Amino acid sequence: MALKVGIPRGLLYYYYGDLWRNFFQLLGIEVVVSGTTTKQMLDQGSKIDEVCLPVKVYLGHVCALRGKVDWLFIPRVISVAPKQYSCPKMMGLPDVVRANFPDLPPMLSVDVNLRKSRFVLYRAVVDLGKRLGKSPWSSLKTWVRASRQIDAVAVKQDESVSGIRIGLVGHPYILKDSQISMDITGKLVRLGVRVIDVGDVPREEANSAAERLTKPIFWNYCQRLVGAALALIYSPRRLDGLVYVTSFSCGPDSLLGEMLGWHARKCNIPLLTLALDEHTGEAGLVTRLEAFVDMLDRRNKLCW
């Protein structure tokens, strides 16, 4: 009977989930990914204080895998780029889980720290395979195969669509989780808005736009997000507005909001910031979106 490895559907799953799943499956390991976020998961994770909403959701997904798997895959991702770090709360996930949920399955965790060298990643892959009873060569070969199966698909924007164009800025673990974001993309679309998600910005364009910053941002995923947002702000096809979605109590994101506000004002682009937590009401969110879209519509009519 094949071993079962559980992967919580939260945080870095939205960056590397396909890669992780491919790797384990090619090793002959059965992968169980937790389902979509529910209110029950959010309530379970919210028992932990002093962490942001996405971390609470992640902890709820961890609890949802209880009794369903042999191992829980929770890597300690310290850094994925030179001279940068991941969020400290992401680094501490294995410790938070161990300290607060002792009745869970054994944890499968490795340290990923590419701040100095990419060879650390291969060492982590070997250690991971060894714990699953696989040889170093088999683990490395499988990782390469899994990586090659993840093809970056460029999303082409349909520039023929008319109407209000709004850039939607936020981490994928917020925007792609319908429980956290309350389907903000769908709400904007139903208001007749053309939504341009920062996740659709090619990596090369985001990196080029990030050079506008006076210095690189210390946090890797924030650097990615700002670069993609600046690519939208300074795009030849001008945005009518920008919606920045963040989670309450996220320190790095509060800094990003100030940066985006400065560049948006420079380009005369209205910015709406939405800080979400487990107490955010859907009715209030809808009201703010409707008011923002209405303001943009009136603004465009006055300009023309």
Q: How confident is the model over 125-155, as pLDDT tens digits? A: 889 888 888 888 888 988 988 888 765 444 4
Same domain, 178 and 288: yes
Name the percent of the chain lying above pLDDT 70.
95
Q: How many CB atoms lie within 10 A of CB 141?
A: 14
Enter the pTM of the model: 0.89
Whether residues 139 and 192 share a domain: the answer is no
Domain annotation covers residue 142: yes
Q: pLDDT tens across 201-238, in order? A: 888 888 888 888 888 888 888 888 999 999 999 988 88
Most confident segment among 33-37, 114-118, 249-253: 33-37
Q: Could you tell me how far CA 221 lies from the centroid of its own chain? A: 8
d(CA 164, CA 21): 38
Per the structure, how many domains does the chain have?
2
Q: Are residues 106 and 15 in the same domain?
A: yes
Residues 169 and 123 in one domain: no
Together in a domain, 139 and 173: no
Domain boundary among 84, 117, 148: 148
pLDDT at 151: 55
Within 8 A by CB and 6+ apart from 49, the residues are none
Residue 112 lies in a domain: yes
154 inside domain: no
pLDDT band at 74 (very low <50, low <70, confident <90, very high): very high
Q: What is the pLDDT of residue 160?
A: 46
pLDDT surpassing 50 at residue 178: yes
User: 171 and 139, same structural domain?
Assistant: no
CA pair distance 250, 57, nearest whole angstrom:
14
Q: In angstroms, rounded to a whole number, what is the distance separating the alpha carbons of residues 14 and 24?
A: 17
Q: Is the pLDDT of residue 251 over 80?
A: no
What angle, rounded to 10 degrees, do the helices at 53-64 and 93-100 form?
Answer: 60
Cite the beta strand spans of 136-216 per DSSP E: 165-169, 194-197
Q: Is the pLDDT of residue 163 over 80?
A: no
| Residues 241, 121 share a domain | no
CATH of the domain at 183: 3.40.50
Return mean pLDDT, the chain. 86
Do 14 and 133 fall within a single domain? yes
Residues 180 and 109 in one domain: no
Longest CA–CA separation in the chain, Å: 68
Per-residue pLDDT band at 299 (split at 50, 70, 90): confident
Name the residue range of residue 209's domain.
165-303
Task: Say whether both 173 and 233 belong to one domain.
Answer: yes
171 and 144, same domain (yes or no): no
Residues 140 and 265 in one domain: no
Beta partners for residue 246, in sequence order = 275
User: Smallest Cα–Cα separation from 267: which of 242, 299, 288?
Assistant: 242
Average pLDDT over residues 166-193: 91
- The answer to whether residue 258 sits within a structural domain is yes
